[in-house]
Structure 1
């Protein structure tokens, strides 16, 4: 079942706590120190910088790793970010880094560096911006009268996102609160997404305390590569799980057959 959330991309804009570190007229001011956002979204990190009179800045760049004392690799030249990074500057010495199609491997600390046209005219600002990229998970809490589904992430999402819950293909809740409660037993399918993210929602299938939560519903990858699919499951008290396996549904017999 294909579902689309409102909008196509979530861009995280932050204008909060500024960090200023200066040395003899050199400084970098970061708009924020930490960002938590979702896999597949777009993020912007901003800073401004100053330098002494008489200098002219010739190079500006963002980096996530320092390879050696004098060799900082710009994200524009890093193959891991190819086609996903843009820089934007303004006349007031402001500079913005944009990364699209975020991956969990993009979680890192990013710093801004600029180079001037004179000897010793090189500076980068610390501590930088710490980016955490997470994926949606669903936690299931069951009591004898209700089941609560909660959209969960490994860090607290920045910018107070709106969580969308679907019952089958119908939106049943849009709220900044990440949980949705069901008071009657049902065989319906439930999907959780964050508004503005054009990515697969999390699927939960529930029946009498039984549920399976898949981390994602669709994956596109290359022939010959490796892939990981993950899920979590719940079951009623009193049962003991003796067997778990994955299967495909397009086998010739039409019956579940373990992939092992």
Structure 2
């Protein structure tokens, strides 16, 4: 029983004489110009009376274990505070709470900070071991590429991690913002951007910063993903229909990293595949029917190769110039023949009309109405008739010309015998060719 009492007294004495300081966090990374909170609590023997309180930072050339006080950052006696930290620190000033805040941190504030307390006892001095390490992040942000392979290039399928960092350290406050080719990646909000299996689509320039902050500017870092040719295709110049005699250029296009070093062209004619060229462009100065067929190209770089889809080239046949000239000549001759026929027809018709008119003028005797003889309907007048022998008459028969004169009916009161007497017919020997 006595033994137990002695143990309890020793334990109580040990508790009453315990010295301790607790820091949180052990390491701080802060942006340059920001404010930093140093969380701290302490214990000291119950029988002691608390004296001075202070925070200090050893110089860079001193031991960083708290054995050398160095620069006084805060002192319960303000006069003891270093000029570099006056008006920049705020102490909590609560019982056994040694927390304080440091404003407007800079690169000169980088170091380890310790809390030290003293009491009225002769040996009443204690410095909390470990301290808090302060690091100051200096802008701008920098993107660091970490790859699975220590050396060599990044290829499709590799595991890659991009880290958003700054000089000295990277604060954990966020969220972070990531940009690819200056475009925001909305789902990337961590300080690291991971690619388990990087692809050619991830190729680009990356930058980072803090979201909704002006601390987002950073130099771009290229994620150089190497890949074999992709999206190989053929473009045709000029586009549209291709006729014999035209010029034609086929261009092989692709995406690749590194760039394509070899191009190969092939032509498919029925079941035959033949090699036709070895440059990025395949040109035909004068297209003919023999160029009709299917074409494809193969693009190759150091990583691999890929072929394009097949392009069908159809060459339209053009009519021969001689045949065109023949058709034009035949058409012209046809129209010329029609025109000549029409002209001849018009001339013949006009000549016929002219001859008929002239003959009529020669044989027609114009008798005016006041010179017409009056006669009865039964009268027949024979004028200038003479007898001739039959042979003479037959001989000159063709030289006689007769004219038929239609006389109007008379006004006599003599009754008409028949309808045939309504007209008076006068036969007159007009002219004999011998009289000329």
Aligned to 1:201: 217
1:78 Cα deviation after fit: 2.3
1-structure distance, mates of 2:194, 2:176: 10
2:87 partner SS: coil
Query: Does 2:164 correspond to 1:151?
Result: yes
Higher relative contact order (CA 8 A, sep 6+): 1
Structure 1 residues 190 and 100, CA, compared in 2 at 3 Å: closer, same or farther?
farther
CA RMSD of aligned residues (A): 4.3
Structure 1 residues 78 and 198, CA, compared in 2 at 3 Å: closer, same or farther?
farther
**Pair member with larger Rg:** 2
1-structure distance, mates of 2:68, 2:134: 24
Query: Does 2:180 correspond to 1:164?
Result: no
2:21 partner SS: strand
Aligned to 1:111: 114
TM-score scaled to structure 2, two decimals?
0.34
Contact 2:117 2:125 in 1 (8 A): yes
Gaps of 5+ in 1: 1-21, 210-235, 239-260
Between structures 1 and 2, the one with greater strand share: 1
2-structure distance, mates of 1:196, 1:118: 53
Alignment counterpart, residue 189 of structure 2, candidates 139, 163, 175: 175
Structure 1 segment 110-149 matched on structure 2, within 5 A? 110-135=113-138, 136-139=141-144
1:97 Cα deviation after fit: 2.3
Number of residue equivalences: 188
Gaps of 5+ in 2: 1-14, 75-80, 147-152, 226-256, 260-436
TM-score scaled to structure 1, two decimals?
0.53
Contact 1:40 1:197 in 2 (8 A): no
Structure 1 segment 36-75 matched on structure 2, within 5 A? 36-65=29-58, 73-75=71-73
2-structure distance, mates of 1:168, 1:88: 47
Q: Deviations over 1:201-246 (max 9, x none)?
A: 324387999xxxxxxxxxxxxxxxxxxxxxxxxxx989xxxxxxxx
Aligned to 1:244: none
2-structure distance, mates of 1:158, 1:55: 40
Q: Deviations over 1:88-126 (max 9, x none)?
A: 1323x1121212222233221110011223433222111
Structure 1 residues 139 and 32, CA, compared in 2 at 3 Å: closer, same or farther?
closer
Aligned to 2:243: none
2:45 partner SS: coil
Contact 1:111 1:128 in 2 (8 A): yes
Structure 1 residues 71 and 30, CA, compared in 2 at 3 Å: closer, same or farther?
closer
